[in-house]
Amino acid sequence: MSEEEAAACGAVSPDLSRPPRTPAMEAGTEKDGDGQSLMAPRRTPSPPGSPDPGVPGKPQPPHPGGGLGAESQDSSGSPEHPLSMRAKKLVLHMDINNTILVSDSATGQGPLAALNSYLSTVCWGKFNQEGEWQWLSEFPSLLPPSPDASSFSSNFGRNTEFTSTPLGHPFQTLFSHYLQLLEWPGQPDAVFSVPGEDGHHYHRVLPAFFKLLAGLHQQGRHFAVIFRTFGKDLTSLLQTTQSALQGQHPHFSALKEVVFPVDLRPGKIRCSPKKVTVSRGKEFVSSWPDARVVYDYFSAMEGLGGFQDHFAWWSKNNFSSQSGKPLWVDIHDPEVQHICFDDNIRLQDGESIFHPQVFKDQGGQECCTVPTSELYNICLVQNDLLEAIANPDYFLMTVSQCEDQYDQYMSKALTDGDC
């Protein structure tokens, strides 16, 4: 989590887990660049097919997966649970901190502090009649285990030493479990490992992210990855990912076979009352008067790039989801699916970080804001950091689940009409 995010989320934010047992979930949560106007080519999607009607399924828990023990060998092989073959292009919007990184250079948090802070957001309890804090579950979860539960962080703030405190001590074994899974095997690597506060070295980027790139490539998928962050790790992460795709990662050397261009120019997304502007180098698009221009820009993106979202705007507007990271979805477009992974996505709009907007008509300009719950685990994934640490196939499997549910969502939305 970035410095700005940490300040904003001092009292809110849970996520997920899976330790000596299973996990769950919760959540928490960054000017205008000059450039020549560059209109993305307007795409004219073919008419949607006729998938079986149905309603979006409930959020599915992550599949249990293996640990990271086998990553010392070249881990670019196909996932344990292969994805079904699909023709649709995937555009994956990936948050950075607490999604694919368990450290934060902006705040100076190492892996131990970052993991402790995260755990404090996904462990649930309440105050009893005597005013004493009691835990309602011995395992973390993204969602509260009962209606009266609240996260530790929402009552006491995020705590970088959570499991060393008297209240957090019951989760110390779980913390050690995930920390061990995160540990870098063998000799430290100057690019792909980071030193921890305890002198050990840890994965800088979760192996599950590299497995995602390798797996989608092996499936022959057409996909793009867009880093979306409020933080300051964007440039270095783009460089790190490029190095991995050049075959320099000691555990994923076969990634050099993935032809996946990386744009090292960090872009910006800036919001105002009237419009959202997206800029990168000389590229510049605006949502006014037609938000479809920005949708087409992201949908046409190739390879991997990154954009810093507008934290100051989100903060100025009391951290409202409608001032958070913008996302446009076109249910009339059967050729592209946008999926966002972010630990600060929440079922409750008041606590979520993305602003989802759905186009009303095929090829039209008008769109409407929809509840996060409508696109939860379809286009908006509350990242399960603990599962992402424990299961190298987490991102691959979650993408597959989202695609299944998106087909149902499109069918129902087109049947029901306007949002």
With a cut of 90, say whether residue 417 has pLDDT above it.
Answer: no
pLDDT of residue 106: 67
206 and 102 Cβ atoms separated by less than 8 Å: yes
Beta strands in 220-261 (DSSP E): 223-229
Q: Residue 179 is encoded by which pair of tokens? A: 């920390």
Query: Coil, strand, or helix at residue 212?
Result: helix
Which residue in 405, 394, 377 sits closest to 17, CA to CA? Answer: 394
Please classify residue 158 by burial: count the beta carbons closer than 10 Å to its beta carbon, then call 0-12 exposed, 13-18 middle and 19+ buried: buried
Which residue in 266, 252, 193 sits closest to 217, CA to CA? Answer: 252
Instruction: Tell me how far CA of residue 140 lies from CA of 41, 108, 305, in angstroms.
Output: 45, 25, 32
Query: Coil, strand, or helix at residue 52?
Result: coil
Averaged pLDDT, 121-125: 97
**Dist CA 125 CA 142 (whole Å):** 13
pLDDT of residue 418: 62
pLDDT digits (tens, 9 = 90+) for 155-187: 999 999 999 999 999 999 999 999 999 999 999
**Dist CA 332 CA 325 (whole Å):** 22
pLDDT-derived band at 315 (thresholds 50, 70, 90) equals: very high
pLDDT-derived band at 55 (thresholds 50, 70, 90) equals: very low
Please classify residue 131 by burial: count the beta carbons closer than 10 Å to its beta carbon, then call 0-12 exposed, 13-18 middle and 19+ buried: exposed
With a cut of 50, say whether residue 19 has pLDDT above it.
Answer: no
pLDDT of residue 104: 78
Q: What's 148's DSSP letter?
A: T
* Threshold 0.85, pTM exceeds: no
- 341, β-bridge pairs: 94, 381
Residue 199 zone, left/alpha/beta (φ > 0; ψ -120 to 50; rest): left
pLDDT digits (tens, 9 = 90+) for 185-206: 999 999 999 999 999 999 999 9
Query: How many C-beta neighbours within 10 Å does residue 384 have?
Result: 29
pLDDT digits (tens, 9 = 90+) for 232-257: 889 999 999 999 999 999 999 999 99
pLDDT digits (tens, 9 = 90+) for 327-380: 999 999 999 999 999 999 999 998 899 999 999 988 888 899 999 999 999 999
Computed on alpha carbons and rounded to an integer, the radius of gyration of the chain in Å comes to 20
Specify the higher pLDDT residue, 40 or 376: 376
**Dist CA 46 CA 249 (whole Å):** 40
94 and 227 Cβ atoms separated by less than 8 Å: yes
